[in-house]
Structure 1
């Protein structure tokens, strides 16, 4: 996979996402698929009420169409691994879509229950595992920045489920500011695209760069002030497929670094809940942690830029370590 091919793949995905966005956003607006803002959220967010949501449909459709088109041009595109990636992307996207649909269209504020979401996520994760086990599949975990591996054997299926569900929900938690997830996920997917090239897994690299290009295209509409939100439709899908990418390039634990923003957001919620239950006191002004910085006086744009920077540094350092 050459540099020209990489740039072409990203560009095609970017343009297609932009075109789909131009077509879909007015439709979402006409259908009144507007975001509802939770009462306990920051006061500044209330003005975002009514902004079209379920925008994940824009880049999910773009990614799948781009991959199918590329499969006619490059023979190595449609493999068991990329098919699994698209199943995870579409499967988690459907769960998110159902959740969004129940909230936005059916006006039931809670959407899917946590048990319903978890059940759907587990089913898709197990399906992905068994599809991968049809071919050669390693059950080892590599410790980042070392050559040391741990073979966890049959426990790997539990790890895979935990990884996909965990990061799916982590990205979902992070999706609270205009452009935050779109920007950090662009960086993360591009990083795993580079790892695909390093390990000569060109099918995986191409998929990762297609997603990165789609997220850049989505940023055209999602940067502050956002014209559309990705909703659970997009965030659950991105988190699940990002976790699957880390599994396929056998850099599972490295996702804790490349996805440091998602880890940080999730830990802030866990710390807040634990502290409040044990002591009755809150560590942060509000969680996830991006809300803490908002209530501390940071502008939304400043938080997003800083978090993008953290994501970029967390992605570039491991890559430099790998190639040096």
Structure 2
């Protein structure tokens, strides 16, 4: 895959998002698709009440169009392309239903946890069987080593766990203006580079389409955000990122490339365990980005620091993996 094609894919994803957003955001406002802000959260967030949500629809359309157009033009549409788009759109639909129920129907909890989980499991299983249409390795390599473990038929359980886990992890991270847009674009770009290095051009096109679309979305999602991606965007990104790591057979590297998502999720788990077992909280508030806000950091500082951590981790993984 040439550098020109990489740049063209990113540019197209960016351009489609940048054009769609100004058209779509006013529509979200007219439909009163405004975000409700938790009262127990940082007080500085209360001013965000009413900011349009479900903005993930904008970049989901951009990603799908960019991936299909570039893949079709260069004759690179494969089963893997279909699987990546299936997971992206499928998890996006779940997120949209969750957002719609919360925002439009005024049911604060949205989809129940069981409804959401069943939907995620179904999509993951369908993706697994589609991958079986071609040669597919069920072994998982330990990062930075030559060791691997073959899961065999149990790999389907791993796919379910990975997709559900990371879709929810990205969803938890989506709490500050531009936080997920930036960290996810870094992660997708990193896997895009790996895809190029491993000659998986179909996966590379998808990864760079997401990168461009998210950078375009960041124009409107950076502080102060004019639109939020909502569960529509965050669930879709998390599921697609996990599936991309699976297709590239770099599953466990996602723990490092997506280190911010892992830290955010771990902070919630540790907070719950600590409170239930000791009656005490470890953090002032979880996920951990709120802890730093309540410790006196500005929202922008938290976002910039987390972006930096994500970038350094992704760059280190690239260097170590290439050198290894």
Asked if TM exceeds 0.5, the reply is yes
Distance 1:5 1:68 in 2: 14
Q: What is the deviation of 1:72?
A: 3.1
CA distance in 2, matches of 1:208, 1:79: 14
Give the SS at the match of 1:141.
strand
The answer for the alignment partner of 1:43 in structure 2 is 43
What is the Cα deviation at residue 312 of structure 1?
0.4
Aligned-pair CA distance for 1:53: 0.1
Aligned: 1:157 with 2:140: no
Secondary structure of the residue aligned to 1:150 is strand
**Runs of 4+ that moved beyond 2 A:** none
Pairing 1:268-287 to 2, within 5 Å after superposition: 268-287=267-286
Q: Deviations over 1:16-72 (max 9, x none)?
A: 111011110010011110000112211111110000000000000011111222133
**Structure 2 unaligned residues grouped into runs of 5+:** none
Distance 1:320 1:83 in 2: 30
SS of 2:251 mapped into structure 1? coil
Q: Provide the residue aligned with 2:87 in structure 1.
A: 88
1:25 aligns with 2:25: yes
Cα shift at 1:73 = 1.3
Gaps of 5+ in 1: none
The answer on 1:63 being equivalent to 2:72 is no
TM-score by length of 1: 0.99
The worse-fitting range, judged by mean Cα deviation, of 18-27 and 227-236 is 18-27
| Length, aligned pairs only | 323
Alignment partner of 1:225: what SS?
A: coil
Mean alpha-carbon deviation: is it higher for 253-262 or for 38-47? 38-47
Shift of 1:155: 1.4
Q: C-alpha root-mean-square deviation of aligned residues, in Å?
A: 0.7
CA distance in 1, matches of 2:130, 2:322: 31
